[in-house]
Amino acid sequence: GDIADGVTRGLESLGATVSETFMEPVIRLGVTGLSRAGKTVFITSLVANLMERGRMPQLRAAASGAIQAAYLQPQPDNTVPRFDYEAHLAALTGHDPHWPESTRAVSELRLSLKVRPGGLLGAVRGLRTVHLDIVDYPGEWLLDLGLMEKSYAEWSADTLSHMPERPGGTALVQALNGLDAARPLDEPAIQAMSASFTAYLAQTREAGFSDCSPGRFLLPGDLAGSPVLTFAPLPAVSGSAPRGSLWREMERRYEAYKREVVKPFFRDHFARIDRQVVLIDALGAIHAGPRAVEDLRRAMTDILGAFRPGRNAFLSSLLTGKRVERILFAATKADHLHHSQHGRMTAIMQALMRDARRRADFAGAQTSAMSIAALRATVEETRPHNGDTLDCVRGTLLETGRQAALYPGELPEDPSVLLEPARAGAATWLDGDYNIMRFAPARLTLKPGEGPPHIRLDRAAEFLFGDRLL
């Protein structure tokens, strides 16, 4: 027994060494976040900065010169759309810079890095190749995981109970509650309900709320108009709903959505991720007010739950032992703030993450929270104001093309007031010019070896995959 075990162990460790030497390591980096959080800009700037490496001092492998080359290669997954890097980079850095088209569905890009290993091995082994497979997917799809554990009845009850607190929800909840769900199904009525429900979800997103599942209702892609995306929550029926009723049909479609839309995404994409960054427009939520922050906090908890195998039976069956090793929550668009506010922003993100970790009872992957700007569109400017000074940011306004120095307003000094909406009371944050802060990307003249300007993108890269490049 002992000897045989020893031999097996020996062979196993030999196997590991052999495959490490001959197989090129792959890091699958998931990039997600709700729509407009900044995924497209993040990936484009990250890849451009890794290819150039002039602005990545906090990524150790870049600073030390260990990364000798970085180049794009055909991705391994033949049926996943390729992330349109070249078009997005041209949009951001062209003569007339503009924001690229946002993420609508899953896409992928392979960046390969030639790395010189450090230490003694470096001299012996020569260059090795590490592939960074970046997988971009909408955060809305991730939040759908919550549906996997809910029956149609539970989902309906939950969804209807949140409606009154949300914009546009009062009228809809009244209309839906007034229905007799046991009545015979009728397609035009289902379509009308589904359309009102979709419009309501879009409106809640617009108002800064994070949880707006089912996620595909907002980003339908080629499923638009199909039965899996044509349903709505209904008030409970007493007893069991008769065959051919509105309730039965809605329930059938809800279950089909879980089985035919949510499940394949988790199986084909999510289950294969090694490292994950979750981008968050936290400034937008803070500006929108305590309800939106509360909702963001709940969404972060749900997201961490998705990365906790064991909690969700459906997920455990897909992951079978594999797990995401690192998760970064990054607040984007930090260039809307003068750096004097960055410390507060980071403290808020860290407090939100600690809270989410505690609530999700999360012990697993290494987590971190920071505030970044993937593409810096502003410069800082301190202006005199009523005998005092204001820390502003200056940039080109998207609407008018004019330059302006704007003052976003303040973030709370103590992040805990955001975690306890009761304490925040009527306080409003970022109530300066934040609501008119829509900057265009700045016109750039990049020298060779210079990626687009950013804030802490190199730190984010170091946390996410820096360890695998040394």
Please, what's the b/e burial string for 261-286 (b: 16 or more CB within 10 A of its CB; e: otherwise)?
bbeebbeebbbbbbbbbbbbbbbbbb
Sequence-distant (6+) residues with CB within 8 A of 94 are none
**Cis before 453? omega within 30:** no
State which residue, 54 or 184, has the beta carbon closest to ligand GDP. 54
In angstroms, what is the minimal distance from the CB of 189 to ligand GDP? 33
* 103 near ligand GDP (CB under 6 A): yes
Which residues, in sequence order, are bridge partners of residue 128?
Answer: 115
State which residue, 308 or 456, has the beta carbon closest to ligand GDP. 456
Binding string, residues 359-378; x marks residues near ligand GDP by CB under 6 A: --------------xxx-x-
Strand order in the sheet with 107-115: 67-73, 107-115, 128-136, 26-33, 275-280, 326-331, 366-371
CA pair distance 69, 52, nearest whole angstrom: 9
* 60 near ligand GDP (CB under 6 A): no
Restricting to residues 254-293, name those near ligand GDP by CB under 6 A.
none
* 299 near ligand GDP (CB under 6 A): no
Alpha helices (H) in 320-391, listed in sequence order: 342-359
- Please pick, from the candidates 75, 230, 332, 371, the single residue that binds ligand GDP as defined by CB under 6 A: 332
In angstroms, what is the minimal distance from the CB of 97 to ligand GDP? 11
* 345 near ligand GDP (CB under 6 A): no
- Please pick, from the candidates 137, 247, 439, 463, the single residue that binds ligand GDP as defined by CB under 6 A: 439
* 353 near ligand GDP (CB under 6 A): no
* 458 near ligand GDP (CB under 6 A): no
CA pair distance 451, 55, nearest whole angstrom: 6
State which residue, 46 or 352, has the beta carbon closest to ligand GDP. 46
* 418 near ligand GDP (CB under 6 A): no
Instruction: Identify which of 277, 247, 310, 37 has the alpha carbon closest to the alpha carbon of residue 134.
Output: 277
Among 1-9, 36-44, 169-177, 307-315, the segment contacting ligand GDP (CB under 6 A)? 36-44
Q: Which helix (H) or strand (E) holds 135?
A: strand 128-136
* 309 near ligand GDP (CB under 6 A): no
Report the residue count for the chain: 470
State which residue, 241 or 393, has the beta carbon closest to ligand GDP. 393
Sequence-distant (6+) residues with CB within 8 A of 288 are 207, 208
* 452 near ligand GDP (CB under 6 A): no
* 41 near ligand GDP (CB under 6 A): yes
**Cis before 214? omega within 30:** yes
In angstroms, what is the minimal distance from the CB of 270 to ligand GDP? 17
* 337 near ligand GDP (CB under 6 A): no
State which residue, 10 or 54, has the beta carbon closest to ligand GDP. 54
CB atoms inside a 10 Å sphere around CB 4: 8
Instruction: Identify which of 430, 431, 342, 433 has the alpha carbon closest to the alpha carbon of residue 395.
Output: 433
Q: Position 198: which residue type? A: T
State which residue, 347 or 460, has the beta carbon closest to ligand GDP. 460
CB atoms inside a 10 Å sphere around CB 355: 17
Restricting to residues 61-80, name those near ligand GDP by CB under 6 A.
none
Three-state SS for 385? Answer: strand
The most distant pair of C-alpha atoms in the chain lies apart, rounded to whole Å, by 83
Backbone angles phi, psi at 184, to 5 degrees: -60, 145
In angstroms, what is the minimal distance from the CB of 153 to ligand GDP? 33
State which residue, 116 or 287, has the beta carbon closest to ligand GDP. 287
- Please pick, from the candidates 37, 47, 351, 352, the single residue that binds ligand GDP as defined by CB under 6 A: 37
Site size for ligand GDP (CB under 6 A) = 20
Q: Kindly list the residues in this chain that would bind ligand GDP in the complex (CB under 6 A).
A: 33, 35-41, 99, 102-103, 332-333, 335-336, 373-375, 377, 439
